[in-house]
Structure 1
């Protein structure tokens, strides 16, 4: 299996996030996915920002949406590699963010949420 078509994937990813449909987002990920994010380190401090498996990712994204009910993304660019995809988007705070996704077949095996290094509150998380 090969990675999905980049722009189609980004459209599906965006639609799921903007609908706040965590299960639709999770369909793009392997059960044993590893995902890192500085926001996850704040939302779920016990993870240290490293989430392992769909259940932990679900818990993070569900809590993140609870904390950021106005979350909304706009895709700015999509970059494709051999087995990688980078989605550059703006969040509800107009902050430019990159989601780096590494594929194993048609689903994400590893992901990284990356934020500007000078933003003390990436993604607008509260608390």
Structure 2
């Protein structure tokens, strides 16, 4: 993935979260998406901490956005890989965070590994 495309994906993703626009957020994800996060272990009560599928991700994000009406992300950096992007940002509630996103051929996120500095 080239840096220009990676930056565009990251900026669009951050802006969607900052607007709390659930449909815009979800437009970045494939139907078969898997998201794994320490926060999801608490929210789901599942030690695997994995949200599977777009409908489950919709419910997870809707709950998170409702619980955090002042949530904002500040994009700090973007790293590129082979069919992947790592987005480094400041979460206004949880602090520094990195999300490693694998993408399909259409540029939709298929897998996310969320890393928190202070979980």
Report the TM-score when normalising by structure 2.
0.90
Aligned residue pairs total 117
SS of the residue aligned with 2:93?
A: coil
The aligned counterpart of 2:7 is 7
The aligned counterpart of 2:114 is 113
Q: C-alpha deviations, 1:37-82, integer Å up to 9, x for none?
A: 1111112224741011001111111111111121100000000011
After superposition, where does 1:62-77 map in structure 2 within 5 Å? 62-77=62-77
Contact 2:6/2:80 (CA < 8 Å) preserved in 1? Answer: yes
| Structure number having the greater strand percentage | 2
Report the TM-score when normalising by structure 1.
0.84
Moved more, 89-98 or 15-24: 89-98
Moved more, 51-60 or 35-44: 35-44
Structure 2 residues not aligned, in runs of 5+: none
Task: Compute the RMSD of aligned alpha carbons.
Answer: 1.9
Structure 1 residues not aligned, in runs of 5+: 123-127
1:112 Cα deviation from its structure 2 partner: 1.4
The aligned counterpart of 1:43 is 43
2:114 matches 1:83: no
Moved beyond 3 Å, runs of 4+: none
